[in-house]
Amino acid sequence: MRWNDDGGGLGPDIEDRRGEAGGGFGFGGGGIRLGCGGIILLGVLSLVFRQNFFALLAPGGGAPQARVDSRPVAPPPAQEEKRARFVNFVVNDVQKNWDRVFPSLGRNYTHATLVLYRNETRSGCGFAEAQMGPFYCPADRKVYLDMGFFDELSERFGAPGDFAQAYVIAHEFGHHVQTLLGIEGQVRRAMEERPDQQNALSVRLELQADCLAGVWGHGTAERNILENGDVEKGLAAAAAVGDDRLQRAAGRRVNPESWTHGSAAQRTEWFTRGLREGTVGACDTFKNRP
pLDDT at 92: 93
Q: Taking residues 182-206, what's their average pLDDT?
A: 93
Domain annotation covers residue 130: yes
Question: Mean pLDDT lowest for which of 25-34, 204-213, 219-228, 250-259?
Answer: 25-34
Domain annotation covers residue 21: no
Does an H or E element contain 152, and which?
A: helix 149-155
Coil, strand or helix at 63: coil
Claim to verify: residue 91 and residue 226 sit in the same structural domain: yes
Claim to verify: residue 202 and residue 224 sit in the same structural domain: yes
Q: How many whole angstroms separate alpha carbon 68 and alpha carbon 26?
A: 9
DSSP string of 67-107?
Answer: --B----PPPPHHHHHHHHHHHHHHHHHHHHHHHHGGGGT-
Boundary of a domain, candidates 44, 65, 86: 65
Claim to verify: residue 230 and residue 147 sit in the same structural domain: yes
The total domain count for the chain is 2
Claim to verify: residue 233 and residue 142 sit in the same structural domain: yes
Claim to verify: residue 124 and residue 240 sit in the same structural domain: yes
Domain annotation covers residue 11: no
Domain annotation covers residue 160: yes
Question: Mean pLDDT lowest for which of 23-37, 232-246, 253-267?
Answer: 23-37
Question: Mean pLDDT lowest for which of 73-82, 95-104, 140-149?
Answer: 73-82
- In tens, the pLDDT along 133-173 reads 889 999 999 999 988 887 776 666 555 567 788 888 999 99
In which domain, by residue range, is 33 found?
Answer: 26-65
Claim to verify: residue 53 and residue 101 sit in the same structural domain: no
Claim to verify: residue 148 and residue 47 sit in the same structural domain: no
Q: How many whole angstroms separate alpha carbon 107 and alpha carbon 284?
A: 18
Domain annotation covers residue 17: no
Does an H or E element contain 163, and which?
A: helix 162-180
Q: Taking residues 235-243, what's their average pLDDT?
A: 71
Claim to verify: residue 142 and residue 58 sit in the same structural domain: no
Does an H or E element contain 14, and which?
A: strand 14-16
Claim to verify: residue 249 and residue 155 sit in the same structural domain: yes
Domain annotation covers residue 6: no
Claim to verify: residue 40 and residue 172 sit in the same structural domain: no
pLDDT at 13: 96
Claim to verify: residue 90 and residue 163 sit in the same structural domain: yes
Claim to verify: residue 113 and residue 199 sit in the same structural domain: yes
- Give the N- to C-terminal CA distance of the chain in Å, as an integer: 29
pLDDT at 3: 65
pLDDT at 7: 59
Domain annotation covers residue 264: yes
Task: Give the CA count within 13 Å in the CB-facing half-sphere of 70.
Answer: 0
Q: Is the pLDDT of residue 1 over 60?
A: yes
Q: Which residues contact residue 8 at a Cβ distance below 8 angstroms, ignoring those fewer than 6 apart?
A: 85
Mean pLDDT of the chain: 77
Q: Taking residues 94-123, what's their average pLDDT?
A: 95
Domain annotation covers residue 7: no
Q: How many whole angstroms separate alpha carbon 210 and alpha carbon 212?
A: 5
Evaluate whether 210 touches 267 at the Cβ level (below 8 Å).
Answer: yes
Evaluate whether 25 touches 139 at the Cβ level (below 8 Å).
Answer: no
Q: Binning pLDDT at 50, 70 and 90, where does residue 45 land?
A: very low
Q: Binning pLDDT at 50, 70 and 90, where does residue 30 land?
A: very low
